């Protein structure tokens, strides 16, 4: 984990912690609006309500702030996948995963856009994490999905592309929120759009994973 400059001192005070959070909140706002390249330290300092020298005491560079945010976002983003339980019912686990990912799209749209921008730039700050901890976690959960298919609990599928598909469909509601709301129109673009999306994605994925040559376990879950 990337630590802010002030966090490396021997005694880290409550005020230091609050200032660091204040800076990171401002940086998240600026990066999510302007991207890494378009954001400046001056903009972040202004949003944080701090002088530039004061801000640079805590984070020496724009890159340091960005990496701290990206590392935190990646960890948060993986929490729903970590909760994917091999001992649980496939239907319940997949349904829960879809809903948790949609809740994150609803509650953390700036974080989602920050992460998407990082990936579009070639993941310069988190490539090691993508190839290391992220890959290991996805490999682990892919093995769970394969085991469910071998046991006849779900239809055979490529577990990696199933996970990718859930990522892309759920995060769409954060990364393309303006487009979603514009197309849905005023009557359908309220908070209820996430519940509508959840019901549709459950139908899409769970029906697609239903075992066709035996009585439906999914329909009676």
Mean pLDDT estimate for the chain: 89
Same domain membership, residue 90 and residue 22: no
Look up residue 91 and give its two tokens. 């239907």
Cβ contact 59:101 at 8 Å? no
Stretch among 73-82, 95-104, 131-140, 200-209 having the lowest mean pLDDT: 73-82
Q: Which residue do the tokens 């940086």 mark?
A: 27
Q: Which residue has the higher pLDDT, 162 or 77?
A: 162
CA distance 153 to 146: 10
Same domain membership, residue 77 and residue 133: yes
- Number of domains making up the chain: 2
Quote the pTM value.
Answer: 0.82
- Res 13: pLDDT: 82
Q: Is 159 exposed, middle or buried (0-12, 13-18, 19+ CB in 10 A)?
A: buried
Whether 187 is covered by a domain: the verdict is yes
CA 54, 59, 65, 71 torsion-angle sign: negative
- Name the percent of the chain in helix, strand, coil, to the closest 5: 75, 0, 25
Whether 219 is covered by a domain: the verdict is no
> Residue 94: which H helix or E strand, with range?
helix 90-107
Q: Which of 74, 67, 66 is nearest to 104 (CA)?
A: 74
Structure confidence by residue, pLDDT tens digits, 127-176: 898 999 999 999 999 999 999 999 999 999 999 999 999 999 999 999 99
Stretch among 15-19, 98-102, 176-180 having the lowest mean pLDDT: 15-19
CA distance 154 to 160: 15
CA 58, 60, 66, 68 torsion-angle sign: negative
Query: How many other β-carbons are positioned within 10 Å of the β-carbon of residue 142?
Result: 16
Q: Which domain holds residue 185?
A: 71-208
Whether 130 is covered by a domain: the verdict is yes
Same domain membership, residue 75 and residue 35: no
Question: In the predicted model, is pLDDT for residue 219 greater than 50?
Answer: no
- Res 220: pLDDT: 45
Same domain membership, residue 178 and residue 111: yes
Same domain membership, residue 184 and residue 136: yes
Whether 11 is covered by a domain: the verdict is yes
Query: How many other β-carbons are positioned within 10 Å of the β-carbon of residue 43?
Result: 18
The domain that holds 176 is classified in CATH as 1.10.357.10
Question: In the predicted model, is pLDDT for residue 1 greater than 60?
Answer: no
Query: How many other β-carbons are positioned within 10 Å of the β-carbon of residue 220?
Result: 7
Question: In the predicted model, is pLDDT for residue 182 greater than 50?
Answer: yes
- Res 214: pLDDT: 54
Whether 213 is covered by a domain: the verdict is no
Same domain membership, residue 107 and residue 23: no
Whether 215 is covered by a domain: the verdict is no
Q: Which residue has the higher pLDDT, 215 or 199?
A: 199
- Res 65: pLDDT: 95
Q: What is the CA radius of gyration of the chain?
A: 20
Same domain membership, residue 27 and residue 131: no
Same domain membership, residue 37 and residue 92: no
């Amino acid at each position: 984990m990337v630590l802010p400059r002030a966090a490396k001192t021997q005694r880290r005070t409550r005020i230091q912690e609050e200032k660091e959070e204040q800076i990171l909140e401002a940086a998240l706002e600026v990066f999510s609006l302007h991207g890494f390249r378009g954001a400046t330290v001056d903009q972040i300092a202004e949003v944080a309500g701090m002088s530039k020298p004061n801000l640079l005491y805590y984070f020496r560079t724009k890159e340091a702030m960005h990496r701290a945010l990206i590392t935190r976002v990646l960890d948060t983003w993986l929490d729903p996948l970590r909760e994917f339980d091999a001992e649980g019912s496939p239907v319940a686990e997949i349904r829960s995963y879809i809903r948790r990912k949609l809740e994150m799209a609803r509650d953390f749209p700036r974080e989602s856009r920050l992460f998407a921008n990082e990936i579009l730039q070639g993941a310069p700050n988190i490539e090691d994490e993508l190839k290391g901890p992220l890959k290991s976690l996805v490999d682990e959960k892919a093995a769970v999905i394969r085991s469910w298919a071998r046991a006849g609990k779900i239809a055979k599928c490529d577990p990696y592309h199933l996970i990718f598909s859930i990522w892309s469909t759920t995060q769409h509601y954060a990364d393309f929120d303006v487009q979603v709301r514009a197309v849905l129109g005023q009557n359908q673009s309220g908070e209820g759009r996430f519940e509508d999306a959840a019901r549709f994605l459950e139908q899409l994925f769970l029906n697609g994973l239903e075992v066709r040559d035996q009585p439906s376990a999914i329909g009676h879950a």
